[in-house]
Amino acid sequence: MDAKKTITGSLRDGMFLEMADKKLFDQAIEYAYDYTDKILARQPFPTREAIDSLEVFDELLPEVSGNPQEILEKLHKFGSPGTVLHTGGRYFGFVIGGTLPVSLAARWLGDFWDQNGGLYATSPLISKLETVTEKWLRQLFGLPVNVVSGFVSGTTTAVFCSLAAARYRILQQQGWDINAKGLFNAPSVRVVAGSHAHGAVLKSVSMLGLGRDNIEWVDVDDQGRMIPDKIPVLDRNTILILQAGNVNSGSFDPFIDICEKAAITGAWIHIDGAFGLWAACSEKLNYLTKGIELASSWSVDGHKTLNIPYDCGIVMCKDSDALISALHVTGSYLIHGENRDGYLYTSEMSRRSRVTELWAAIKYLGSKGIEELVDGLHERSVQFASEIKEAGFLVLNDVVFNQILVACTNDELTARTLELVQNSGECWCGGAQWFDRKVIRVSICSWTTTPDDITRSVRAFANAYSHTR
């Protein structure tokens, strides 16, 4: 099909043809393969030139229809070099996983389905996959049979849904229907969190009207773990927010010490386990998650540790009635039956079939494969910590999971080294403040990272450091 025909002919005819002759999709596949073939040769962060070229997207709103091949070509030519290489083995920024091939492929298929995973009536298939995946997740994390799951876009939404459920239940116990009456003049809801709680927790507390300033902060130890003795007296009107995987150090709150006592008070315990909850799947590491089953709700990502493509988070909750009531929607056209309607467990209504990639990942890896994946990330992290120490750097945290906090002898050197590492194109890490020190955060979260990637990256650190002097 040539450009002229698309523009002057019937749009619909053009699109029928595109669906039928598949050339557009072949083109996309060709670009995707070209992208993936170049991963090894590319630096983790786009070059200055690639970023500057993104200016080509600054265009006026098109009035007439474009040529689909040219649109794809533009995306590949200017978009592909402008990406940050999350799928490569030497990207250690934030906490960002790679992509499992089976999940990526399943997602492609799912995109052709274009399912609305909201209701059983809109997709019996997605309802089935969610039902099965929910059961598998309970087993993987060792959670009770009454735990329900909602498949959301990420941990932030999962935290939001969990805290909404907690807020609903706590107020309902005091005779207050939050859905009907709102928060004005409502009885108070206490929120207790560790001083190292993730920004997603603060965001959710704000969005839910609970107020950041009302949070009762609990002191943490030198690894960022909540100190059990510092927790205030809890009661049924309290939400206690714990953490499996500190976003900087990777540390875990001492759940067993905290949860047993907290559960007796009737407090709602939420565990934010965005990347760390997966430690529960490893024999070697599940000492870190002992006691998580005593919580009331959990938030976890598929797109970090499990290496599922983006847009994969899970909210899990023991009190399904609270979760459903908190997220409730009404409409006479909505059809509910005995089969699972996935939207009951999320803050969204319409939703893509995101469970597909998660289902495919678990089906492919199995519990043993997930354990191997998690253990592998940990092993590479231990390797990184040991090699970077040999290279003369300081490691400021206990490397219990997949995070390493690296520092030089002073902040200035650390900042300068980080800048040079980032500019080296060898690997990419971000920085953070860890108590009173600047640190380089290294997060090993991609299945593609090999022992050689680690050694090469440590060499880049050593090189960078030598250039600071």
Ligand X SMILES: *Cc1c(COP(=O)(O)O)cnc(C)c1O
Binding site for ligand X (CB under 6 A): 95, 154-156, 198, 200, 245, 247, 272, 274-275, 301, 313
Residue 87 burial (10 A CB sphere; 0-12, 13-18, 19+): buried
φ and ψ at residue 387, rounded to 5 degrees = -70, -35
φ and ψ at residue 353, rounded to 5 degrees = -85, 55
Which one, 410 or 433, has the nearer CB to ligand X?
Answer: 433
Name the nearest CA neighbour of 117 among 104, 105, 103, 131. 131
Q: What is the helix, strand, coil percentage profile of the chain, to 5?
A: 50, 15, 40
Q: DSSP character for 344?
A: G
Which one, 156 or 249, has the nearer CB to ligand X?
Answer: 156
Rounded Cα distance, 448 and 408, in Å: 28
Tell me the closest approach of the beta carbon of residue 270 to ligand X, in angstroms: 11
For residue 406, give the H/E element and its range. strand 403-407
Which one, 304 or 340, has the nearer CB to ligand X?
Answer: 304
Tell me the closest approach of the beta carbon of residue 104 to ligand X, in angstroms: 18
Sign of CA dihedral 327, 330, 335, 336: positive
For residue 381, give the H/E element and its range. helix 355-390
Which one, 123 or 307, has the nearer CB to ligand X?
Answer: 307
For residue 404, give the H/E element and its range. strand 403-407
Tell me the closest approach of the beta carbon of residue 199 to ligand X, in angstroms: 7
Which one, 281 or 464, has the nearer CB to ligand X?
Answer: 281
Rounded Cα distance, 124 and 338, in Å: 12
Tell me the closest approach of the beta carbon of residue 308 to ligand X, in angstroms: 11
Task: Mention every residue, 6+ apart, whose C-beta is less than 8 A from residue 429.
Answer: 92, 93, 406, 418, 421, 422, 440, 441, 442, 443
Tell me the closest approach of the beta carbon of residue 194 to ligand X, in angstroms: 11
Tell me the closest approach of the beta carbon of residue 152 to ligand X, in angstroms: 9
**Contact predicate 95/199, CB 8 Å:** no
Three-class secondary structure of residue 162 per DSSP: helix
Which one, 117 or 154, has the nearer CB to ligand X?
Answer: 154
Name the nearest CA neighbour of 267 among 186, 191, 174, 161. 191
How many C-beta neighbours within 10 Å does residue 122 have?
Answer: 18
Tell me the closest approach of the beta carbon of residue 246 to ligand X, in angstroms: 7
How many C-beta neighbours within 10 Å does residue 11 have?
Answer: 11
Tell me the closest approach of the beta carbon of residue 303 to ligand X, in angstroms: 6
How many C-beta neighbours within 10 Å does residue 390 have?
Answer: 10
Which one, 156 or 383, has the nearer CB to ligand X?
Answer: 156
Tell me the closest approach of the beta carbon of residue 95 to ligand X, in angstroms: 5
Q: DSSP character for 81?
A: G
Number of H helices, E strands in the chain: 15, 11
Which one, 301 or 387, has the nearer CB to ligand X?
Answer: 301
Rounded Cα distance, 463 and 467, in Å: 6
Residue 80 burial (10 A CB sphere; 0-12, 13-18, 19+): middle
Which one, 96 or 427, has the nearer CB to ligand X?
Answer: 96
How many C-beta neighbours within 10 Å does residue 332 have?
Answer: 5
Which one, 315 or 462, has the nearer CB to ligand X?
Answer: 315
Tell me the closest approach of the beta carbon of residue 447 to ligand X, in angstroms: 18
Tell me the closest approach of the beta carbon of residue 269 to ligand X, in angstroms: 16
Which one, 312 or 460, has the nearer CB to ligand X?
Answer: 312
Tell me the closest approach of the beta carbon of residue 258 to ligand X, in angstroms: 17
Q: Which residue's CB atom is positioned nearest to ligand X? A: 154
Which one, 275 or 447, has the nearer CB to ligand X?
Answer: 275
